[in-house]
């Protein structure tokens, strides 16, 4: 992000209540897990053209957030991380996993800034864009862990026209399993981009083939969006992801000026 001159609209400054830093962008809450992310993954800040500030949801990993049925232990650590980010001065809060949707209502109600807990927030908008009767394909990590509560808490009618596939429980993908699946993790989590891309293309092509009424894809998992463009080249469908949500979140909290001519 390069500016040619200062913003003349910023002339006088004053402190904001409980804000420590200024000129910040989005605050991202990360799971307390050690694994890498390709550019485009929310865990990798390098591909985004706005500032990102991270905070770790202490003690909450994939198992506790996604796989455990009892998620009550997650709420307070998530709330603590969100409040730390807000106090630091971020303009909006997001997370790195679509399953944070379970806590959208509680965290949004507790914060003074916009909260985007899940990429799945886009599904109601997609339904308006493509038509209520058309089918949306949700590509998630664990299909069996995506409950009606995850959907309804971000405004999705669980009974609406959705098709869901779980990359980690419906398919074999060595690259994704070696990053996130506890009993298949190597000593150092790792993945190969080209192999992972081929896996995503293969899985999405089969998913759409088995569900030919799909008119748009929703990538729930932050680790899938690095391959969204490659999948789109193959399928020609609109694809929504964490990347599209974060771009939107930034645009509504730091609205751009327009420079042009007549």
Domain of residue 206, residue span: 120-240
Q: Is residue 85 one of the residues assigned to a domain?
A: yes
Total structural domains in the chain? 2
pTM above 0.85, yes or no: yes
CB atoms < 10 A from the CB of 53, how many? Answer: 18
Same domain, 109 and 137: no
Predicted confidence (pLDDT) per residue in 213-259, tens digit: 999 999 999 989 999 999 999 999 999 999 999 999 999 999 888 88
Same domain, 183 and 89: no
Give the CATH number for residue 210: 3.40.50.1860
Same domain, 181 and 232: yes
Q: Is residue 20 one of the residues assigned to a domain?
A: no
Same domain, 112 and 137: no
- The H-assigned helical ranges of the chain are 62, 72-88, 104-110, 123-130, 148-152, 167-170, 174-180, 193-210, 228-235, 242-253
Q: Is residue 259 one of the residues assigned to a domain?
A: no
Same domain, 113 and 134: no
Same domain, 114 and 125: no
Predicted confidence (pLDDT) per residue in 42-94, tens digit: 989 998 989 999 999 999 998 999 999 999 999 999 999 999 999 999 999 99
Same domain, 111 and 30: yes
Same domain, 224 and 138: yes
Same domain, 103 and 178: no
């Amino acid at each position: 992000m390069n500016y040619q001159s200062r913003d003349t609209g910023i002339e006088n400054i004053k402190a904001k209540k409980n804000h420590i830093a200024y000129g910040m962008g989005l605050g991202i809450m990360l799971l307390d897990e050690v694994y890498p992310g390709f550019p485009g993954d929310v865990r990798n800040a390098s591909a985004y053209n706005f500032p990102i500030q991270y905070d770790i949801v202490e003690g909450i990993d994939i198992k506790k957030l996604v796989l455990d049925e009892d998620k009550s232990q997650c709420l307070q650590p998530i709330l603590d991380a969100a409040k730390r980010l807000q106090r630091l001065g971020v303009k909006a809060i997001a997370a790195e996993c679509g399953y944070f949707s379970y806590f959208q209502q509680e965290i949004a109600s507790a914060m003074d800034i916009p909260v985007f807990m899940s990429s799945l927030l886009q599904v109601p908008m997609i339904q308006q864009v493509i038509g209520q009767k058309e089918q949306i394909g949700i590509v998630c990590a664990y299909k069996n862990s995506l409950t009606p509560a995850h959907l309804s808490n971000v405004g999705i009618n669980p009974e609406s026209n959705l098709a869901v596939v779980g990359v980690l429980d419906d398919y074999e993908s060595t690259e994704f399993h070696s990053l996130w699946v506890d009993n298949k993790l190597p000593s150092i989590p790792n993945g190969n981009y080209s192999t992972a891309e081929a896996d995503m293309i293969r899985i999405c092509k089969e998913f759409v083939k088995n569900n030919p009424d799909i008119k748009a894809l929703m990538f729930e998992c932050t680790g899938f969006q690095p391959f969204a463009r490659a999948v789109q080249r193959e399928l020609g469908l609109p694809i929504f992801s964490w990347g599209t949500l974060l771009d939107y979140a930034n645009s509504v909290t730091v609205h751009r000026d327009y420079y042009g001519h007549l």
